[in-house]
Structure formats: structure tokens, C-alpha cells
Amino acid sequence: DAGVIQSPRHEVTEMGQEVTLRCKPISGHNSLFWYRQTMMRGLELLIYFNNNVPIDDSGMPEDRFSAKMPNASFSTLKIQPSEPRDSAVYFCASSLVYGYTFGSGTRLTVV
């Protein structure tokens, strides 16, 4: 089992550009979560899906953020347009009944 796979590991982009983060959950896991980690705010839950359906997106900061899960093996988190304050580490995690497994994260830097 390769675990939760996130890409890219690092992303540097200019303010105003579109950024897409990708996640492949563990096969068989039915829940997928996107978290953002910063020094100031710690770990924040942005959105989570259950059986590919968005359940709670109350943590999505604003309309510039969107997430999709078109099938059980793939999810994206998109930021358009990106801003410097979006700089953070973005984690994807998948779960099957309280068995969270985190990916290694994507470190996003918006300059």
C-alpha cells in the first residue's frame, strides 16, 4: 500500500495564478479530508468528502478555494486566484472509520 499520495510536494507560484493540489487516497477508504497547516492557525479542516460527496466545506476560506472528488481515487483542491496568505502546507488524509492516514503534504508558497 503506497499510502495517501499528494502532488506536487512543493509549489511556488505568483500571486493571482491558479494552483491545483492533487490527492490519491488509500484504496478502500471512503472518507477524504483536506487540511491546511500554518504556524499561526495550526491545522484547519477545509473540507471533507464521504463516498465522493462533499459533507462539510465550512472550513473553506472563501470562494477562491474549491475542491472536487470526481471518483474514489482522486481529489483536487484548487485555489484561483492565489494570494500570499494562502501560503501553507496542505495535507490530504483518507480514512475508513477513524483510521486516518495523512499524505506528506504540499508546501505552497505564493509570492
Partner 1 sequence: AQSVTQLGSHVSVSEGALVLLRCNYSSSVPPYLFWYVQYPNQGLQLLLKYTTGATLVKGINGFEAEFKKSETSFHLTKPSAHMSDAAEYFCAVSPAGDTDKLIFGTGTRLQVFP
Q: For cell 477513524, name the residue.
A: 98
The answer to the question of residue 58 lying near partner 1 (CB under 8 A) is: no
The answer to the question of residue 83 lying near partner 1 (CB under 8 A) is: no
CB-based contacts of 34, cutoff 8 Å, min separation 6: 23, 45, 46, 47, 48, 67, 75, 77, 90, 91, 92
The answer to the question of residue 42 lying near partner 1 (CB under 8 A) is: yes
The answer to the question of residue 8 lying near partner 1 (CB under 8 A) is: no
Q: What is the Cα–Cα distance from 111 to 105, expressed in whole angstroms?
A: 19
Nearer to partner 1, 53 or 97 (CB): 97
| Cα 13–chain centre separation | 17
Q: Which of 21, 60, 77, 93 binds partner 1 (CB under 8 A)?
A: 93
Which of the stretches 11-19, 20-28, 67-75, 97-105 binds partner 1 when contact is defined by CB under 8 A?
97-105
Q: For cell 506536487, name the residue.
A: 8
Residue ranges binding partner 1 (CB under 8 A): 4, 31, 33, 42-43, 45, 48, 50, 55-56, 91, 93, 95, 97-105
